[in-house]
Amino acid sequence: MKFFIDTANIEEIKEINNLGVLSGVTTNPSLVAKEGVDFHERLREITSIVKGSVSAEVVSTTAEEMIPEGKELAAIAPNITVKVPITAEGLKAVHAFSEAGIKTNVTLIFSANQALLAARAGATYVSPFVGRLDDIGRDGIGLIAQISKLFKLHDLDTQIIAASVRHTIHLTQAAENGAHIATIPYKVFNQALQHPLTDKGLSNFLADWEKYKNH
């Protein structure tokens, strides 16, 4: 499973990219609005730092408008992936992007059927929202497992991005259940990296070395 970061914050992207584990970035209109920056300018900055897929979401709601909007986003950099919501109009747009060789990430996936439809329309990625399903008492990770099984069974090469990841247990379970990618918030990267026994062990090693080094 690969790691994407789910943010439009440039400092967070730089810091995690420097760890050497980052394969891409996902943004959404809420994340961009939080930053209060020019969207296209921010995409230029992000794509100059991260070479992998950078998802940029369309905000129009008809295929007729989504297609030129997505093409404009895709023209910003070769690694832009156009993010499209799973609606009837979104599917039409995804099909058109696929025909034009533009990569897509179909977002706001909450059911296996939505994922199957997106894959058949030619989506490069689907993003099932694990945390938001858990929030309403449904099984977010169960959906990842179901989509993974169905894509294998039907030879669909659309990749699964586990999205709306809230904590490190989601991360491990997404990997166990067949997600190709997890897009995770900055704080979950740090939580995943840390363990109290690592800190304690390192501190003991260094203390022992300090006592020994001038023996």
- Does 132 interact with ligand E4P (rule: CB under 6 A)? yes
- Does 142 interact with ligand E4P (rule: CB under 6 A)? no
Q: What are the residue numbers of the active site?
A: 83
- Does 159 interact with ligand E4P (rule: CB under 6 A)? no
CA-based nearest residue to 19, from 183, 197, 195, 186: 186
By rule CB under 6 A, what string of x and - marks binding of each residue 17-56 to ligand E4P? ---------x-x----------------------------
* Min dist. Cβ of residue 105 to ligand E4P (A): 7
* Min dist. Cβ of residue 9 to ligand E4P (A): 13
Nearer to ligand E4P, 138 or 154 (CB): 138
Q: Please, what is the end-to-end C-alpha distance for the chain in angstroms? A: 46
- Concatenate the DSSP letters of all residues of 175-203 into one string: HHTT-SEEEE-HHHHHHHH--HHHHHHHH
β-strand pairing of 53-57 with 181-184: unpaired
Site for ligand E4P in 78-107 (CB under 6 A): 107
CA-based nearest residue to 3, from 16, 15, 11: 16
Task: Report yes or no: 195 and 21 within 8 Å, Cβ to Cβ.
Answer: no
Residues contributing to the site for ligand E4P (CB under 6 A):
6, 26, 28, 107, 127, 129, 131-132, 163-164, 183
